[in-house]
């Protein structure tokens, strides 16, 4: 071969295989030689498939590799207007915010054309221009408690202080909410939060005080978390996913459960069944869980399963790029067309007759793919372990074994095509880790998960994070929601 590349390697192997088939048909190859050469050809076909996959670079478009670890694509062009704005915040403001509005009237005294006096002429309208600005204001509230000496017994009596004045100096709810918003909602590093507050109020709040605010909010949201768990268990479909996080220099995992406007995150040392059992949501859930085919999720047979179509499309893209299999191209096209078809439907699902046709087409593609894929070498007697398979074989088997879960989005309107909801809810956790490095203690990782769950849920309802934090700290959250 003059040059070694994917196309030339495939063409050369196909030509050799056809030539051997012709020689065998003409009776020019003995029985023993034929069996030996067929075994060698089967082995070569498997090696070629593996070679193609190993020499195909994985990126965020053809695998689960995050875009941050992919090489920069200089050809990518961002188009304005392609991204949605997201949910709008509720216009209600926090309790310690006020708007000072002034209106100044600019009068007309004379005509610009002829100079006629217009001071007595009534205006026919007004044209308004507005300037918006922020004035940073530090509010100091002092309470002077009287101290009196009794003339009868000589005893000294001090007047009581309000409950919110527990010490010589304390910070108000507005500062607490602002600090927590910067630290947990805006993902700003602890040191920079201190500097920002110091700039505004001229006093440096210690790290211990800021971390105490975090734990206060964590405890205030304990009841909210219990109620949210009860609510999410009643949802017909739930998104689940997990991602790694560093806690005290060790690897932990953040598990997310999302449904409707609820987002719940939990941190655990383990990734699989042990963590899911300890969290206790999936074992009690009776609806459909949407995930990326992680084996631990599939072990729960009491609930339905929906596989993420985005993951499948990326893996199919890799198979097409590495080996050019026709079955992978056809399967990718079928899933994309079905997704677009379902999204245009008002009921977000296919009719029973259309679903049966989809199943038949799906199975036909897999049948043709079985003939296209190289055969798996037989396992020798006494050989330990599983037989090594290519990525194409593993994906084909997954599509065959989990047909119902792959196509559930076309049958159940509550099940979406992708698991992007859970991945979006976890994305800011990776930002937090990039900013802060890791959590020093497990209790702060747990606090972050609960607080970020609450802020994400309130954001889904259109509530400003400053308002949400003040509602939780003051206890008004339970008064308003019951």
Residue 296 lies in a domain: yes
| pLDDT at residue 331 in the model | 96
Residue 110 lies in a domain: no
| pLDDT at residue 376 in the model | 73
What CATH number corresponds to the domain at position 262?
A: 3.30.420
- Are residues 403 and 438 located together in one domain of the fold? no
Residue 399 lies in a domain: yes
Cα–Cα distance list, 396 to 159, 297, 323, 333, 370 (Å): 78, 20, 13, 15, 8
Closest CA to 243 of 417, 419, 451: 419
CA 385 to chain centre: 36
Q: Kindly state the helix (H) or strand (E) to which residue 20 belongs, with its residue range.
A: helix 6-25
Coil, strand or helix at 320: helix
Residue 114 lies in a domain: no
Contact 305, 298 (CB under 8 A): yes
- Are residues 187 and 296 located together in one domain of the fold? yes
* Alpha-carbon span 478 to 458, nearest angstrom: 13
Maximum mean pLDDT: which of 69-73, 160-164, 167-171, 467-471:
467-471
The total number of structural domains in the chain stands at 3
* Alpha-carbon span 98 to 72, nearest angstrom: 45
- Are residues 331 and 395 located together in one domain of the fold? yes
Report the pLDDT averaged over residues 175-184. Answer: 92
- Are residues 264 and 397 located together in one domain of the fold? no
Contacts of 191 (CB under 8 A, 6+ apart): none
pLDDT band at 80 (very low <50, low <70, confident <90, very high): very low
Coil, strand or helix at 106: coil
pLDDT tens string 344-380: 999 999 999 999 999 999 999 999 999 888 877 666 6
Contact 440, 248 (CB under 8 A): yes
pLDDT tens string 118-127: 888 888 888 8
- Are residues 412 and 427 located together in one domain of the fold? no
In which domain, by residue range, is 353 found? Answer: 314-376+389-418
Coil, strand or helix at 402: coil
- Are residues 320 and 275 located together in one domain of the fold? no
| pLDDT at residue 480 in the model | 60
Q: What angle do CA 450, 185, 250 make, to 5 degrees?
A: 55
Tokens of 333: 């096209």
Each residue of 332-362: b (16+ CB within 10 Å) or e? bebbeebbeebeeeeebbbeeebeeebeeeb
- Are residues 325 and 393 located together in one domain of the fold? yes
* Alpha-carbon span 402 to 36, nearest angstrom: 36
Residue 134 lies in a domain: no
* Alpha-carbon span 21 to 38, nearest angstrom: 10
Q: Of the ranges 42-46, 290-294, 352-356, which one carries the lowest mean pLDDT score?
A: 42-46
pLDDT band at 77 (very low <50, low <70, confident <90, very high): very low
Residue 76: pLDDT over 70: no
Q: For a pLDDT cut of 70, what percent of the chain falls above it?
A: 82
Report the pLDDT averaged over residues 291-309. Answer: 94
pLDDT band at 73 (very low <50, low <70, confident <90, very high): very low
Residue 126 lies in a domain: no
- Are residues 408 and 456 located together in one domain of the fold? no
Residue 139 lies in a domain: no
Q: For a pLDDT cut of 90, what percent of the chain falls above it?
A: 49
Residue corresponding to tokens 């038949």: 360
Contact 458, 177 (CB under 8 A): no
Report the pLDDT averaged over residues 156-181. Answer: 88
Residue 106: pLDDT over 60: yes
| pLDDT at residue 121 in the model | 87
Judging by DSSP bridges, how do beta strands 304-307 and 156-158 pair with one another?
unpaired
- Are residues 429 and 413 located together in one domain of the fold? no
* Alpha-carbon span 385 to 395, nearest angstrom: 20
- Are residues 242 and 213 located together in one domain of the fold? yes
Q: Outline where 71-206 has alpha helix (H).
A: 173-180, 190-201
- Are residues 194 and 243 located together in one domain of the fold? yes
Residue 482 lies in a domain: yes
- Are residues 241 and 337 located together in one domain of the fold? no
Q: What angle do CA 201, 205, 208 make, to 5 degrees?
A: 165
| pLDDT at residue 81 in the model | 41
CA 296 to chain centre: 19
| pLDDT at residue 82 in the model | 41
Tokens of 370: 């079985």
């Amino acid at each position: 071969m003059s040059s070694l590349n994917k196309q030339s390697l495939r063409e050369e192997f196909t030509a050799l295989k056809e030539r051997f088939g012709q020689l065998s048909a003409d009776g020019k190859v003995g029985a023993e030689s034929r069996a030996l050469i067929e075994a060698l050809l089967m082995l070569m076909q498997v090696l070629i498939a593996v070679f193609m996959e190993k020499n195909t670079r994985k990126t965020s478009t053809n695998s689960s590799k995050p875009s941050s670890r992919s090489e920069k694509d200089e050809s990518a062009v961002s188009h304005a207007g392609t991204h949605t704005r997201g949910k709008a915040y509720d216009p209600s403001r926090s309790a310690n915010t006020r708007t000072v509005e002034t209106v100044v009237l600019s009068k007309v005294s004379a005509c610009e054309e002829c100079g006629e006096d217009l001071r007595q002429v009534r205006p026919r309208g007004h044209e308004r221009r507005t300037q918006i600005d922020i004035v940073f204001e530090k509010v100091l509230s002092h309470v002077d408690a009287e101290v009196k000496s009794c003339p009868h017994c000589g005893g000294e009596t001090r007047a009581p202080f309000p409950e919110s004045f527990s010490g010589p100096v304390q910070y108000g709810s507005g500062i607490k909410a602002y600090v927590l918003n910067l630290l947990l909602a805006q993902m700003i590093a602890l040191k920079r939060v201190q500097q920002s507050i110091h700039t505004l109020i001229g006093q440096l709040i210690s790290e211990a005080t800021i971390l105490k605010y975090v734990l206060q909010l964590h405890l205030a949201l304990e009841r909210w978390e219990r109620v949210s768990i009860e609510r999410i268990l009643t949802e017909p479909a739930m998104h689940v996913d997990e991602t790694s996080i560093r806690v005290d220099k060790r690897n932990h995992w953040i598990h997310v459960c999302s449904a409707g406007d609820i987002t719940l995150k939990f941190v655990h040392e383990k990734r699989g069944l042990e963590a899911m059992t300890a969290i206790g949501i999936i074992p009690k859930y009776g609806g459909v869980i949407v995930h990326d085919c992680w084996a631990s999720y599939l072990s729960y047979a009491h609930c339905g399963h929906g596989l993420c179509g985005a993951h499948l499309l990326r893996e199919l893209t890799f198979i097409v790029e590495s080996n050019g299999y026709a079955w992978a191209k056809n399967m990718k096209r079928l899933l994309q067309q079905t997704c677009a078809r379902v999204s245009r439907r008002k009921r977000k699902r296919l009719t029973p007759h259309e679903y049966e046709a989809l199943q038949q087409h799906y199975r036909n593609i897999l049948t043709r793919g079985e003939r296209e894929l190289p055969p798996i070498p037989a396992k020798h007697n006494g050989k330990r372990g599983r037989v090594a398979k290519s990525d194409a074989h593993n994906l084909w088997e997954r599509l065959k074994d989990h047909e119902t879960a792959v196509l559930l989005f076309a049958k159940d309107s509550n099940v979406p095509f992708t698991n992007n909801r859970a991945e979006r809810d976890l994305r800011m956790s990776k930002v937090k880790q990039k900013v802060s490095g890791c959590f020093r203690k497990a209790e702060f990782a747990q606090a972050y998960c609960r607080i970020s769950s609450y802020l994400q849920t309130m954001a889904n309802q259109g509530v400003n994070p400053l308002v949400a934090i003040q509602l939780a700290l003051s206890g008004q959250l339970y008064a308003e929601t019951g």
